Amino acid sequence: MRLLKYLTEKYLTRFKSQYEGGVSFEVFINPSQKELREFDAVRFIANNETKKVYVWDAQYEIHAVIWEKLGFSSNNIYNSKDILSGTTVKKGGKHETKYSDAMKKHHLSVDWEWVNKYIDVTKFIEKNTRYFH
C-alpha cells in the first residue's frame, strides 16, 4: 500500500457520453504517458490549486459537462484563473495543446509548467499569448 503514495496517475471513473450513442469512457487524473498513448486527441481540465489534470478521450464529451459530473461548480471552469481546459493532439508520443476556448488573459499570471508532465501546454500559451483577452 505504500506504493499508492508515490503514484501520480489515477483512473478516476467512467461516464456515459451524451454523444456517440452513449458510449462509456474513462476519465483519468494525472495520467501517465503510457495511459495517454492510446489516444490521438484528449480533452483536459487542469486545476492549479489541486495540481490535478483530468483527461479523457476528446471525442466523447465537452469540458463543462465533465466538470459538472466531477461535482465542481460549472461557472468555475471558465471564470477561474486556476482552471485551464483545452484539447490536445498527439505529436511524437506526447500530447500538445492545440485548442482552448477557455484561455483568457488572467491565465497568464499562473505558472502552468507543472501540467507539462502530462500535457504540453507551454508551447500553446507562448504561441497564442497575444490573442488572449
Question: Hey, how many other C-beta atoms are within 10 angstroms of the C-beta on 130?
Answer: 5
> What are the backbone angles phi and psi of residue 123, rounded to the nearest 5°?
-60, -45
Predicted local confidence at residue 92, as pLDDT: 86
Contact 39, 58 (CB under 8 A): yes
Question: What distance in Å separates the CA atoms of residue 107 and residue 82, rounded to the nearest whole number?
Answer: 7
Predicted local confidence at residue 114, as pLDDT: 97
Is the C-alpha dihedral spanning 101, 23, 117, 46 positive or negative?
positive
Q: How far is CA 38 from the centre of its chain?
A: 16
> What are the backbone angles phi and psi of residue 118, rounded to the nearest 5°?
-110, -50
List per-residue pLDDT tens for the chain, 133 residues long. Answer: 343 343 344 555 666 666 667 778 889 999 988 889 889 999 999 999 999 999 999 998 888 888 888 888 767 777 889 999 999 999 988 999 999 988 888 888 999 999 999 999 999 999 888 877 6
Q: What kind and span of H or E run contains 43?
A: strand 42-47
Determine if the pTM surpasses 0.75: yes
Enclosing domain of residue 18: 2-128
In a domain, 16, yes or no: yes
In the chain, the number of structural domains is 1
Cβ neighbours of residue 66 closer than 8 Å, sequence gap 6 or more: 15, 27, 43, 45, 54, 56
Predicted local confidence at residue 5, as pLDDT: 40
In a domain, 133, yes or no: no
Residue 127: is it exposed, middle or buried by C-beta count within 10 angstroms (0-12/13-18/19+)?
Answer: exposed
In a domain, 14, yes or no: yes
Question: What distance in Å separates the CA atoms of residue 19 and residue 120, rounded to the nearest whole number?
Answer: 27
